[in-house]
Structure 1
Amino acid sequence: MKNRERFSSRLGFILISVGCAVGLGNVWRFPYITGKYGGAAFVLIYLIFLAILGLPIMVMEFAVGRASQKSIAKSYHVLEPKGTKWHWAGYVAVAGNYMLMMFYTTIGGWMLAYTVKTAMGEFSGLSAEAVGGVFTSMLGQPGYMLFWMLVTVILSFGVCSLGLQKGVERITKIMMSCLFLILLVLCIRSVTLPGAMEGIRFYLVPDFQKMWENGFADAVFAAMGQAFFTLSLGIGAMSIFGSYISKERALLGESLNICILDTVVALLSGLIIFPACFAFQVNPGEGPGLVFVTLPNIFNQMAGGRLWGSLFFLFMSFAALSTIIAVFENILSCTMDMFDWSRKKAVLINAVLVTLLSLPCLLGFNLLSGFAPFGEGTTIQDLEDFILSNNLLPLGSLVFLLFCTTRYGWGFQNFLKEANTGTGLKFPARLRFYVSYILPLIVIFIFILGYWQKFA
């Protein structure tokens, strides 16, 4: 049996896990819903849900990975009681990783393309409508998007091909360090703009009145959803990194560090966006429009906007690429575990496979735009995101919960022993009732709510 690769440092493990968790939702959804539901009042509710929802499931993912010393494709095989079928969930989780990459590679390509466009001054002097037109025009060019998607796939698999320590860990450390540095520089620039204080107040001063106006229940659901989905739990994207770490540290403290850093990125993103929007009297919307239309317009009006815009899209590219590299590493580990392939063979086959699987999303904005799965204006990307976010993530998380808490699975005592091995914060045994009975009900509620919001 081959020795399993290991991270060279604890910092590497934490930064790579944060890189996986820090995604585009931190930037184009979190600040918007925070502003909508009362600023700091919403953040408070979000942090509570992050602690009671995301944190326990993350500890379970890491525990399953570390105890099995395998990727999610084989973790259940190693830990499940003899004769049970938990391992089927592993194959679904592997499919979830591919599904995430089917649309994330295209969006990663957009980020790289906009970094170059901004640096080259393509937006300089354009009207607000013309800036929006650049994005619309890009979506209509399959060849151009294919080029940037291929750059994203080749770059990311190239990093993974160098190995865990020399490639994934080393490059992700550099990217995440740069990400935090650029984030701080952009925050300082944004909060020192004339008129920025109004945006800071809107974002960070608790306003429970606004929360009630927009619906307290809606605010709670939004906080719950954001806390649940921000960490990409349920498809084993985190458990793989558990399999690469030693047993020196207990897992609750490590998971807490990752949650804190993920939240810091989300909060700081808002400190870039809201002060700038208020300084230039622009409505901060949600989703791709905010990043690709609203913000380029703001950078256009800002002194030295070309530099600040380039830095922002470089930050976004690092956020996207860190997630893609982390998930690619999981996919590679899964296929190496399942088929006993070398890393080189796994990289070559998966690079071709992921490229082909990414084409429907890419073509859904142009050649296949006639296919609108959820009605007019929706795309193949919306369908892929729905399959992942509304189905595979919540149901995968539910499987992790049941596997780690019931006697029909790995069992709570086995989970607790693994989670609490090493120094640091221990997972409290008294939470057994909560994680066994209440938390699964909350996850089922999130699953049902997702369908209700989508179709009701």
Structure 2
Amino acid sequence: MVVTTGSDGITPRDGWSSRSAFIFAAVGSAVGLGNLWRFPAEAGANGGGAFVLFYILCVVLIGLPILLSETLIGRHGQASAPESVRRMAYESKKSKHWGGLASLGVLGAFMVLSFYCVVGGWVLYYIGVFAQDLFTSGLVGGAFEGRPPGDIEALLPGLFGNGMLMAGLNFVFLAITLYFVSRGVSSGIEFVATWLMPAFFALFLAITVYGAFTGAFSEALSYLFTFHPEKLTGSVMLAAVGQAFFSLSLGVAGMITYGAYVGRDLNLAGTSLIIGAADTAVALLAGLCIFPIVFAAGLEANGGPGLMFQTLPIAFQQMPAGSFVGLLFFIMVGFAALTSSVGLLEAPTAWTKEKFNLSRVTASSLVAFGALVLGTMAALSFNDLADFHPLDFIPIFAGQGMFDVLDGLTAKFFMPIGAILTSIFVGWVADQRLIDGENGLSGGLHKFWRFLVRWLCPAVLTVILVVGIFPSITGAGSGG
């Protein structure tokens, strides 16, 4: 239990029971579909090794400084993300309107949650598909025996065409997320993180080892880590920066919120390094888990978003015990997706609870209901609402349905703007004595971190913001 002092005296605040609990929860929030789905797809679409090596560099120079900045704001403020920023601004004798930067992040987290649970529903669907296949075909053979690859590839479009099923799966995934968040930090969020993250890593390593012995592991290793300088183009670098930023779930107030539950005895710099290293390791292992299976089946690595949901199921067809391995794989993905969705729901729940003096159950239920409304519209944008384009009047959103609009708004606007404002606030606005008392750094490392937060992070993130809004400037697109 973390204790914080409020205007009415000292009141108890639910918090992490230990350092390891915070690390598991923070890693669980960061490690999600961005690592398992987006990273291999991005690596495959952007030439492998050049993308991967530049991605690692971006995690160190961009991701970790912002991650530490967000957690130290939360730990100092000991409140919801907007209130934590306001408290630091007040103590720094600056305008409390700086709390708006975290309010933007809270709104971003709410919007990401609304479409993230739709994708979580896809994962539940594939868990069911592989479980059914395992039950009917047995443990020994490959997945979907006797079915042509075209039928397997058609599973995802078939799901997209069923609006009722899509909306129902979104509801189930969101309901599971709500259950854990409504139980509180130590009894709910910490519980799901400390149980599911070890299970996730065990399954992850088991499938990676399986792929190493049954797939084209050396080919995948070469693909991911052989550096070809000619492939390091501007679009590849932008994609790597964007992936490093998005994979750590920065700019959506989640790490500020989680930081508020951290005790004063924890070194935030060292903990942020562990979180960043774990997140990066999962992304790299995702490539070593997926690509050996894909290459061994003679399939292409540049399948984009369809790599996980279309290419991989075809690859499982050609593997021994493919149904069983496929089932374990999607259960593993489901664990990662759930720990991330819990973090996304917690940020707006903490704000709603504090702002309107509501119980946790009421606050989380209200937020979840709002996310359900948006999420249902996002799910139906693949079918029944396919002709509904809410932001058709904005060129970069022309012709896009609700799912793509929510994704684009958060990725191109809310997340980079939130991270830019965070780096400016920590680097230039907040009293540096407050910052120095929280960040756990000293000497040359502290000076280097301050340089990154003040200069490099806002500059690079501004480039991401501009290119996201005006992709024709470089021809790089959105990096997705």
1:230-250 per-position Cα deviation (integer Å, ceiling 9, x unaligned): 111112111111110111122
The farther-off stretch of 439-448 and 27-36 is: 27-36
1:123-178 per-position Cα deviation (integer Å, ceiling 9, x unaligned): 44321111122211111111111221111111111111222112110121111111
User: C-alpha separation between the residues in 2 aligned to 1:136 and 1:376?
Assistant: 22
The aligned counterpart of 1:347 is 364
Structure 1 contact 73–337 (Cα < 8 Å) conserved: no
User: C-alpha separation between the residues in 2 aligned to 1:316 and 1:310?
Assistant: 10
AA matched with 2:331: L
- How far does residue 190 in structure 1 lie from its aligned partner after superposition? 0.9
AA matched with 1:183: F
User: C-alpha separation between the residues in 2 aligned to 1:452 and 1:3?
Assistant: 47
- How far does residue 262 in structure 1 lie from its aligned partner after superposition? 0.4
- How far does residue 357 in structure 1 lie from its aligned partner after superposition? 2.1
The aligned counterpart of 1:403 is 425
Q: SS of 1:428's equivalent?
A: helix
The aligned counterpart of 1:90 is 102
Taking a change above 3 Å as real, the CA distance of residues 410 and 378 of structure 1, as seen in their structure-2 partners, is same
**Number of equivalent positions:** 448
Structure 2 contact 73–84 (Cα < 8 Å) conserved: yes
The farther-off stretch of 442-451 and 306-315 is: 442-451
Kindly indicate whether residue 250 of structure 2 is the aligned counterpart of residue 233 of structure 1: yes
The aligned counterpart of 1:7 is 16
The aligned counterpart of 2:141 is none
Structure 1 contact 416–427 (Cα < 8 Å) conserved: no
Q: SS of 1:281's equivalent?
A: coil
Structure 1 contact 42–223 (Cα < 8 Å) conserved: yes
User: C-alpha separation between the residues in 2 aligned to 1:398 and 1:216?
Assistant: 24
Structure 1 contact 68–243 (Cα < 8 Å) conserved: yes
Kindly indicate whether residue 460 of structure 2 is the aligned counterpart of residue 419 of structure 1: no
Structure 1 runs of 4+ aligned residues shifted over 4 Å read: 35-38, 372-378, 424-427
Kindly indicate whether residue 403 of structure 2 is the aligned counterpart of residue 381 of structure 1: yes
The aligned counterpart of 2:457 is 439
Match for residue 201 of structure 2 among 180, 185, 189: 180
AA matched with 2:420: L
The aligned counterpart of 1:29 is 38
Give structure 1 stretches of 5+ with no counterpart. none
Structure 1 contact 38–207 (Cα < 8 Å) conserved: no
User: C-alpha separation between the residues in 1 aligned to 2:452 and 2:197?
Assistant: 34
The aligned counterpart of 1:156 is 177
The aligned counterpart of 2:311 is 294
Kindly indicate whether residue 198 of structure 2 is the aligned counterpart of residue 198 of structure 1: no
The aligned counterpart of 1:54 is 63
The aligned counterpart of 2:374 is 357
User: C-alpha separation between the residues in 1 aligned to 2:372 and 2:210?
Assistant: 38
User: C-alpha separation between the residues in 2 aligned to 1:362 and 1:36?
Assistant: 26
1:289-330 per-position Cα deviation (integer Å, ceiling 9, x unaligned): 111111111111211111001011111111111100111122
User: C-alpha separation between the residues in 2 aligned to 1:57 and 1:163?
Assistant: 26
Give TM-score scaled by structure 2 length: 0.88
User: C-alpha separation between the residues in 1 aligned to 2:171 and 2:449?
Assistant: 46
- How far does residue 36 in structure 1 lie from its aligned partner after superposition? 5.0
The farther-off stretch of 45-54 and 195-204 is: 195-204
Q: SS of 2:270's equivalent?
A: helix
- How far does residue 84 in structure 1 lie from its aligned partner after superposition? 4.3
Taking a change above 3 Å as real, the CA distance of residues 379 and 288 of structure 1, as seen in their structure-2 partners, is farther
The aligned counterpart of 1:451 is 469
Q: SS of 2:154's equivalent?
A: helix
- How far does residue 221 in structure 1 lie from its aligned partner after superposition? 1.9
Structure 2 contact 61–452 (Cα < 8 Å) conserved: no
AA matched with 2:462: I
- How far does residue 426 in structure 1 lie from its aligned partner after superposition? 9.3
Pairwise mapping of residues 261-300 of structure 1 onto structure 2 (< 5 A)? 261-300=278-317
The farther-off stretch of 164-173 and 59-68 is: 164-173
Taking a change above 3 Å as real, the CA distance of residues 301 and 8 of structure 1, as seen in their structure-2 partners, is same
The farther-off stretch of 222-231 and 251-260 is: 222-231
Query: What is the percentage of aligned positions where both structures have the same residue?
Result: 31
- How far does residue 183 in structure 1 lie from its aligned partner after superposition? 0.6
Kindly indicate whether residue 227 of structure 2 is the aligned counterpart of residue 207 of structure 1: yes
Give TM-score scaled by structure 1 length: 0.92
Taking a change above 3 Å as real, the CA distance of residues 244 and 194 of structure 1, as seen in their structure-2 partners, is closer
Structure 2 contact 78–260 (Cα < 8 Å) conserved: yes
Taking a change above 3 Å as real, the CA distance of residues 265 and 425 of structure 1, as seen in their structure-2 partners, is farther
Structure 1 contact 98–331 (Cα < 8 Å) conserved: yes
User: C-alpha separation between the residues in 2 aligned to 1:146 and 1:195?
Assistant: 38
User: C-alpha separation between the residues in 2 aligned to 1:146 and 1:131?
Assistant: 22
User: C-alpha separation between the residues in 1 aligned to 2:241 and 2:95?
Assistant: 36
- How far does residue 375 in structure 1 lie from its aligned partner after superposition? 7.5
- How far does residue 40 in structure 1 lie from its aligned partner after superposition? 4.1
The aligned counterpart of 2:259 is 242
Structure 1 contact 273–284 (Cα < 8 Å) conserved: no
User: C-alpha separation between the residues in 2 aligned to 1:328 and 1:454?
Assistant: 34
User: C-alpha separation between the residues in 2 aligned to 1:430 and 1:296?
Assistant: 45
Structure 2 contact 46–236 (Cα < 8 Å) conserved: yes
- How far does residue 44 in structure 1 lie from its aligned partner after superposition? 2.6
Structure 2 contact 68–268 (Cα < 8 Å) conserved: yes
Taking a change above 3 Å as real, the CA distance of residues 446 and 68 of structure 1, as seen in their structure-2 partners, is same
